[in-house]
Amino acid sequence: MTDSNRRKGLRAASVLLGGVLVLSACSGGDSEASSGGGDSTSQAKVDEAAAKKASEAQIKITPKDGSDNASINNAAKVTVSKGTLTDVTMKTAAGTAVAGRISADKKSWSPTGQLERSTSYKITATADDSAGRTAHENASFTTVSPANSFIGNFTPEDGSTVGVGMPVSINFDKAITDKAAVQKGITVSSSSGQEVVGHWFSANRLDFRPEDYWKGGSTVTLKLNLDGVEGANGVYGVQQKTVTFKVGRNQVSVVDARTKTMKVTRDGKTVKTIPISAGGPDNKTYQGQMVISEKFKETRMDGSTVGFTKKDGKGEYDIKDVPHAMRLSNSGTFIHGNYWGAKSIFGAVNTSHGCVGLSDTKGAGDPNTPAAWFYNNTLIGDVVVVKNTGDKTVAPDNGLNGWNLGWAAWKAGSAA
C-alpha cells in the first residue's frame, strides 16, 4: 500500500471509530443501567438510602400554610402520626411568643389562650419517630381581621344573679344577614326545662326568653358557638364561649299611676307598698312590662338628652345627683329617688317627665327612704309593670322589654 492509500485508510477507520464512539456514548446509559452502573442508578441508590434514614413521623399543622381569615379560637393546632412531638414554637410576625401545650401523649399541641385578630403567626414543629429520627414542619397563617369578623356583646354577665325578667340579649357589632346560621350557633337553656326561643329585633340584635318569666332559683346557660360562622358575606364569627347565670327570687313590682302606688311582690307575696309619683298629664309614663337593666346609686339626668329642651336649647331639667336610679327603657324611663319634690306629692300627684319617682334624700345616704329600700332590694332583671298611665305600651326593643310581645309574635321573630 502506498503512503497515500495508507492515509486514506486511516482516515476511514477514524471516521468509523468516531461513529462507533458516538453510538456508544448515546446508548451507554441504557446499557449501563441494565448492568447496574451509571449516574441514574447511583442517584436512585442515594435517594433510597436517604429515604431509609428519613423520619416516619408525619407532622400536620393547621391552618395550612398561607391561610388567612383563620379562627382566633381553635384553628391553630399541630398533630403528629407515627411519632411524638418534641418541640413546638409559635410566634407572631413581630416575634412575640405564644404560649402552648403539648398533650400528655405528645401527639398534639395547641395554644393555651385565644389568638389576636389581624395577626400573622408562624409555627415551627419538631417530632421524632420510634427510631429517634427527626422530622420538621413549618407553617404561617393570618387570623381573621375585625373587618371580616363579628362579635356579639351579651347581657347578663357570666356568674351574675338576675331577676326573673332578664332576657339574654345579644347585640352584634356587624349587621347579620344570615340570621339562621348565627342563631343556629347560639343555644340558651334553663335548668327549669322551660322552652327558650330567640327573637330578632334587628340585624344587630337577638334576644332569648321563655314564654313566662324565668323560674326563680333556676340556672340559665348561654352557649356561643359562633367561631367560623359566616354571619354576612365574608364576615365570620370568632366567639366560642359558655356563660351561666342564676335567676334569683321572683320579684315583680306593679306601679299603678291611678292610685299612685307601687306594690312589690316577692314569690307571689306582697312585701311592700310604696307611694310614687309617675309622669304628669303632659309627659305620661310608658305602660307595660319593663325590666330593670341598670342601677346607679347616683346619676345625672339632663332633659336635653331625651328631648326635653327649652327655647335656649338647654334641658328643661338637669339634675346632677339623682339618687337610686334604675333604668326601665333606653329612651330615658327610670324609676328613681326624688329629693327635690315635696314629700306630699308621693302617693298623691303625678308630676314627673315620664319617670317613676320615689321619695328620697339628697346624697343617697339615708337607707330608710322608700327609694333606698327599693334600690337595695332590687336585682338587675327584676320586672316593673306600669299601668293606668294613659300612655302607649313601651316598645319591646326599647330596653329589655320583650315581654310586651305575645308568645306567638315572639316566636315569629325567630330565624331557627
Give the residue numbers marked as catalytic. 336, 355
d(CA 165, CA 249): 11
Asked if the peptide bond before residue 111 counts as cis, ω within 30 degrees of 0, the response is no
**Degrees (nearest 5) of the Cα angle 398, 401, 404?**
110
CB atoms within 10 A of CB 269: 8
DSSP state of 219: E
Any residues with CB less than 8 A from the CB of 132 and at least 6 apart, and which? none
Write the Ramachandran bin of 36: left for phi over 0, alpha for psi from -120 to 50, otherwise beta.
left
Cell numbers 322608700: residue? 370
d(CA 373, CA 275): 13
d(CA 219, CA 267): 17
CB atoms within 10 A of CB 399: 21
d(CA 169, CA 208): 6
d(CA 364, CA 348): 23
At 11, list the grid cell. Answer: 482516515
At 281, list the grid cell. Answer: 298629664
